[in-house]
Amino acid sequence: MPDGSQREYALFIPPQYNDDPAHRWPVILFLHGSAECGSDGIKQTRVGLPKYIARHANQFPFITVMPQAHSLWFRGKDAEAVWITLDTVLKEYRADRDRVYITGLSMGAFATWEMAMARPDVFAAAVPISGVGNKKFVSNILHMPVWAFHGRLDRHVPVSGSREPIAELRRLGARPRYTEYPNLKHNCWDRSYADKRLWRWLLKQRRPPTPRVIDYILPGRLAHVWWLVAEAGKGLKTPARVHAQVTEDQRGKQIEINSSGVVAWALVSQSEPLKPGALLTITWNGKTLGQGRFTGRIAYPPRVASESRPVTQPAREPTTRPAH
């Protein structure tokens, strides 16, 4: 962690990992429920997806990352630890970055919704089970395949926590999947993870190419999605929002940014649709800011945006390590 502390996490590597040194493996990030909070790095391996993997290890074709929250909710430092842990695994193993998936149960399903909405550029699909998704931010994941599960008899987390975000996604034009078990209660994840259709479906999902248009609602103060960094103002009554797009003609590339509640932003990219060397004309909320060659990063205002760092982009090498 950036403060020098360490976090235990569990990691599953398929037994066939070394059979083909050229193969890149899909990755699942699994987030546990509240009962598995702690610091031993083990409790989260005894429920839900890890429990399923233990029974089907030889046939489970995913690298699986299992971090552990120290306290309730995957937020604050616990959320930062998850991002750093995932980043570590993606760097140290032969991971397919276009097939990174997130799933969780109960408290971890809350986090599955939240993290997918916060970083829609990272995940190829999301599978929340018995959780709650915030309808305000579902537009951030219109492009992302979602399959949610919930038990109709759940007395711990209301079934509306899944029904409502799924309905909102459908209203906005997305096509999420939703399975509701009429006779199951809160603990429906064993049934969900045992459904082989889920794994066949998941393996088909790939992260789409980097978009030329970003329409994003900021869940917090800072965000880094695809080629855009944005910082929201303080004390906003409604979440900040930004719409940015890249177009191109004979004069070069035009970057048009329209936002509300955003006080600073940066363009950060080394590949299409924004490659270093491109001639850019930038407009923010109807005002043309200027024209110049893109160097890989442009910030506005220069001091504020250049010093802003989203928590999902660690500034130094992570120090988390697996428990076993």
**pLDDT band per the 50, 70, 90 thresholds, residue 223:** very high
Eight-state DSSP code of residue 131: -
pLDDT tens figures, 231-241: 999 999 999 99
Local structure of 11: helix, strand or coil: strand
* Residue 256 and residue 133 share a domain: no
**Per-residue confidence (pLDDT) for residue 71, from 0 to 100:** 94
Q: pTM, whole model, 2 decimals?
A: 0.92
Q: Which residue has the tokens 């951030």?
A: 140
* Residue 248 and residue 103 share a domain: no
Burial of 212 (0-12, 13-18, 19+ CB in 10 A): middle
* Residue 161 and residue 14 share a domain: yes
* Residue 191 and residue 224 share a domain: no
**Per-residue confidence (pLDDT) for residue 1, from 0 to 100:** 77
Residue 313 lies in a domain: no
With a pLDDT cut of 90, the percent of the chain lying above it is: 90
Residue 282 lies in a domain: yes
Residue 323 lies in a domain: no
Long-range CB pairs of 204-209, under 8 A, 24+ apart, other chains included: 205/99, 205/101, 205/124, 205/125, 205/145, 206/98, 206/99, 206/124, 207/97, 207/98, 207/99, 207/100, 207/121, 207/122, 207/123, 207/124, 208/143
For residue 108, give every residue at least 6 positions away whose Cβ sits within 8 Å of its Cβ, in sequence order, or none.
Answer: 30, 31, 32, 33, 48, 74, 131
Taking residue 19's Cβ as centre, other Cβ atoms within 10 Å add up to 8
Token readout for 203 is 């393996």
* Residue 225 and residue 119 share a domain: no
**pLDDT band per the 50, 70, 90 thresholds, residue 42:** very high
**Per-residue confidence (pLDDT) for residue 36, from 0 to 100:** 97
Taking residue 74's Cβ as centre, other Cβ atoms within 10 Å add up to 26
* Residue 244 and residue 174 share a domain: no
Q: Which domain-ending residue is among 183, 208, 233?
A: 208
> What is the distance between the alpha carbons of residues 48 and 192, in angstroms, rounded to a whole number?
9
**pLDDT band per the 50, 70, 90 thresholds, residue 176:** very high
Q: Which domain-ending residue is among 157, 183, 208?
A: 208
pLDDT tens figures, 5-34: 789 999 999 999 999 999 999 999 999 999
Query: What's the domain range around 232?
Result: 213-307
* Residue 18 and residue 150 share a domain: yes
Q: Which domain-ending residue is among 187, 208, 229?
A: 208
Local structure of 86: helix, strand or coil: helix
* Residue 30 and residue 13 share a domain: yes
| CATH number, residue 151 | 3.40.50.1820
* Residue 53 and residue 111 share a domain: yes
- Please state, rounded to an integer, the average pLDDT across all residues of the chain: 93
Residue 256 lies in a domain: yes
Local structure of 100: helix, strand or coil: strand
Domain count, the chain: 2
> What is the distance between the alpha carbons of residues 319 and 88, in angstroms, rounded to a whole number?
9
DSSP string, 187-247: --HHHHHT-HHHHHHHHH--PPPPPSEEEEE-SSSEEEETTEEEEEPTT-SS--EEEEEEE
User: Does 321 have pLDDT greater than 70?
Assistant: no
> What is the distance between the alpha carbons of residues 268 and 23, in angstroms, rounded to a whole number?
29
* Residue 243 and residue 191 share a domain: no
* Residue 198 and residue 81 share a domain: yes
**Per-residue confidence (pLDDT) for residue 175, from 0 to 100:** 98
* Residue 300 and residue 183 share a domain: no
**Per-residue confidence (pLDDT) for residue 267, from 0 to 100:** 97
Q: Which amino acid is at 144?
A: M
> What is the distance between the alpha carbons of residues 120 and 4, in angstroms, rounded to a whole number?
28
Token readout for 255 is 């970057």
- List C-alpha distances in Å: 212 to 253, 255, 274, 284: 11, 10, 9, 16
Burial of 121 (0-12, 13-18, 19+ CB in 10 A): buried
Cα 231 to the center of its chain, rounded Å: 18
Residue 130 lies in a domain: yes
Token readout for 125 is 């699909």
